[in-house]
A and B are shown apart, each in its own frame.
Chain A
Amino acid sequence: MSIELVNVCKSFDSNEVLKGLSLTINDGQTTTIVGASGSGKSVALKHIVGLLRPDRGDVWVDEHNVSRLDQDSLYRLRRNIGYVFQFAALFDSMTIGENVGMGLRRMPELEEDEIRQRVSECLALVELSGYEDRLPSQLSGGQRKRAGLARAIATRPKYILYDEPTTGLDPVTTAVIDEMIVRMSEELGVTGVIISHDMKSAFRISDRVAMLYEGMIRIDGTPDEVRASDDPIVKGFIQGIPELMGAKS
């Protein structure tokens, strides 16, 4: 049981974004995919949940080939995957409570009481207790991200995919979110996939770090291994020295 991307290629019009990306994400671990903006991190993440289908290659989640699943099976599979969007993507016509309960309402076995119970638990987990009746427009950016996280974990998925969870947040909120991601992994035992270009966060919360460069995985290892890498591209990215990367390419 794991997520596996095998030689995934994807182009948009004439722009080749993924050029044979292969990556295995082990269960129970938190993996961060880092890379420069526009390197295709979000595209890779969207392949895992089936929002995009590869031009070539396969995406395996729990032994299912995501790119070959029919619609109904794909929706069933997605109940095991939570997705935290970069800008939360809360439904702005609904209250926070309704937003968090969206995924739960697709589970016919749940009664309305249980749903309400589960929603307030999830909101408590992201420290937004009592925000059920607020509208997304009444929340700050950090609160919205946490609400998005609550929505993603409400169905108790095995996997949670985070799309730039801390981008654009102040350092304090960033630390709070990071801590929350760690808690998800530790308390709920979920497998996390994070895409980020915030190296500090990545090293702090990840079991593994993979770097995406020019449509392929440049390096994949524990934070220590990545930090110790001699690859000028990796070094340049980690230390924020573009000259190192430019020298290579």
Chain B
Amino acid sequence: MAAITTHVEAVGQAAIRSVSSVGRAGFLGIDAVRALRKVELWGPHLIPQLARVGVESVPIALFIATFTGIVLSLQASYTFTGAVPLYFVGTLVGKTMILELGPVLTGLALSGRVGANIAAEIGTMRVTDQIDALETLAYDPVAYLVVPRVLAGAIMFPLVVILANAIGILAGWGASLVLLDLSSPEFLKGLKLFFLPFDVRFSFIKSITFGVTVTAVGCYFGFHTRGGAEGVGHATTRAVVIASMIILVLDAFWAAVLLR
């Protein structure tokens, strides 16, 4: 009987914990929106954060995109063998890269790079009282720390994804030329065949939400870090895992909302 009670309590506690963390995230979100008007606090930090979230993420994003593009073109040609004209390799590389793999793989990679980085940084500031120090010096920590990071994510993510898309397609093109029996005009024909400008917009919209997710989740877990170095490690891991999960859910969400 006591064992059952314990289990029921555990379920109840878990429910309360998850609801309250959703609530805390909501409050952080509201605070962040309110903090947007304090331009004097976040403005000066925007450029460094743009550089950190955006520019420093370009190499890893391009690296991933290059190999994704190559693999896509090889797999497409392997799958199409005989049945479908080879120029559809171009179609598949272009569509898959722009609609799905560009944004999602970049998002997942950057949740590890950017999200973890933010969670660790803010988490350390939390456990060493630096966030309280900001408060006592009349700096709104949400405006000072969260807003520039999330804004940087929203601005730079789609740009990094666009570059990743382009590089992925170029790599797929190169692989088609070198490794497959495909000519440039054929690849381009396939690439253009079903291309819609909407695809780029879709990629863009998706990446903005991914950028906000990665940075906001990093900030959230950083802000709610407790318990010294171990707590920082824990917050970092949670930030990466949760951001990745949200990215995949959002991916399905956008597909369901915008692609029907």
Binding site for B on A (CB under 8 A): 46, 49-51, 71, 75-76, 78-79, 81-83, 85-87, 89-92, 102-103, 106, 151-152, 155
Contact = CB atoms under 8 A, between A and B. Distances in A.
A103 B138 contact: yes
Interface of B: 125, 128-130, 132-133, 135-140
Sort A-B residue pairs by CB-CB distance and give the 6 closest, nearest first.
A89-B129, A83-B136, A89-B133, A75-B138, A103-B137, A85-B129
B137 A89 contact: no
A81 B136 contact: yes
Contacts, number: 50
Contact of A78 (B125, B128, B137): B137
B132 A51 contact: yes
B129 A86 contact: yes
Most buried by B among A51, A89, A106: A89
Contact of B133 (A75, A85, A106): A85
A90 B132 CA distance: 11
A249 B238 CA distance: 42
8 contacts: A82-B136, A85-B133, A86-B129, A87-B128, A89-B132, A91-B125, A103-B138, A152-B136
Most buried by A among B129, B130, B132, B140: B129
B139 A91 contact: no
Contact of B129 (A49, A87, A102): A87
A33 B210 CA distance: 49
Contacts of B136: 49, 51, 78, 81-83, 152
Contact of A79 (B125, B129, B138, B140): B138
A151 B128 contact: no
Contacts of A83: 132-133, 136
A85 B132 CA distance: 9
B256 to A, nearest CB: 38
B133 A91 contact: yes
